[in-house]
Amino acid sequence: KAGVTQTPRYLIKTRGQQVTLSCSPISGHRSVSWYQQTPGQGLQFLFEYFSETQRNKGNFPGRFSGRQFSNSRSEMNVSTLELGDSALYLCASSLKSGKDTQYFGPGTRLTVL
Amino acid sequence: GDSVTQMEGPVTLSEEAFLTINCTYTATGYPSLFWYVQYPGEGLQLLLKATKADDKGSNKGFEATYRKETTSFHLEKGSVQVSDSAVYFCALSPYNQGGKLIFGQGTELSVKP
């Protein structure tokens, strides 16, 4: 089975712009979670989607949003980018929500200038 | 709220040395516990997991036991190899919070030949 794929792998944006990141889960997986990884804050949970519904949300401002499509693919969007949004954004998929093992993609490296 | 604390790194060991990375947690209810590993430039890979007290997770020579009485999930390996050099993350899946994972800050391990 193919693993979790994320596109693009690298992205450079300027302050004030918006960005959309994409995640394709492992085939058959219905839950997708997103995480932000920075040197200062470590790995922080953004949100989880299951069957096109947001199940859980971390402590991030409303500029961070996401959605999930009927084929379980997910996108996250960050509007009005700030320098502090520079990070590695990781998505993870699992069969269903809850305590199922999460499988991570390679991440999208976002740099905000 | 729930949290995970890991021993700080970096940890530098010689090949074939014994490894312990301490991890303690604070959680309500009955979380599941995980160790993930991140190699340079890659996403996270699940190393092992335990879903209830006294469970022992093991994989590739690594072991960790879910100790509810000490709220710990220390990672151990009897003989490390250069290829084990990576960053190790302890994580918990809070009770009844879907697919959310809470991570420790990560411990960088460097193994010298």
CA angle B3-B9-B13, nearest 5°? 135
Q: How far apart are CA A64 and CA A73, in angstroms?
A: 17
Task: Kindly report, residue by residue over A69-106, the tens digit of the pLDDT.
Answer: 999 999 999 999 999 999 999 999 999 877 688 999 99
Q: Which residue of A has its CA nearest to B92?
A: A99
B14 band by pLDDT with thresholds 50, 70 and 90: very high
B98 band by pLDDT with thresholds 50, 70 and 90: confident
Contact between B89 and B102 (Cβ < 8 Å): no
Q: What are phi and psi of B45, to 5 degrees?
A: -120, 135
Residues of B in contact with A107 (CB under 8 A): 42-43
B32, B43, B46 ranked by CB distance to A106: nearest? B43
Give the minimum alpha-carbon distance from A18 to chain B in angstroms, rounded to a whole number.
24
- Which three-class secondary structure state does DSSP give residue B83? helix
pLDDT at A111: 98
Q: How far apart are CA B24 and CA B71, in angstroms?
A: 6
CA angle A35-B23-A47, nearest 5°? 15
- Which three-class secondary structure state does DSSP give residue A106? coil
Beta-carbon-side half-sphere exposure of residue A103 (alpha carbons within 13 Å): 18
* Among the listed residues B63, B84, B85, the one whose alpha carbon sits nearest the alpha carbon of residue B75: B63
Q: Which residue of A has its CA nearest to B106?
A: A42
Task: Kindly report, residue by residue over A27-42, the tens digit of the pLDDT.
Answer: 999 999 999 999 989 9
pLDDT at A101: 87
Give the minimum alpha-carbon distance from A51 to chain B in angstroms, rounded to a whole number.
13
pLDDT of A1 > 80? The answer is no
CA angle A15-A17-A22, nearest 5°? 120
pLDDT at B80: 97
A9 band by pLDDT with thresholds 50, 70 and 90: very high
In the beta sheet, which residues pair with residue A34? A47, A91
pLDDT at B4: 96
Is A100 close to B99, i.e. CB distance below 8 A?
yes
Distance, first Cα to last Cα, chain B:
41
pLDDT at A78: 97
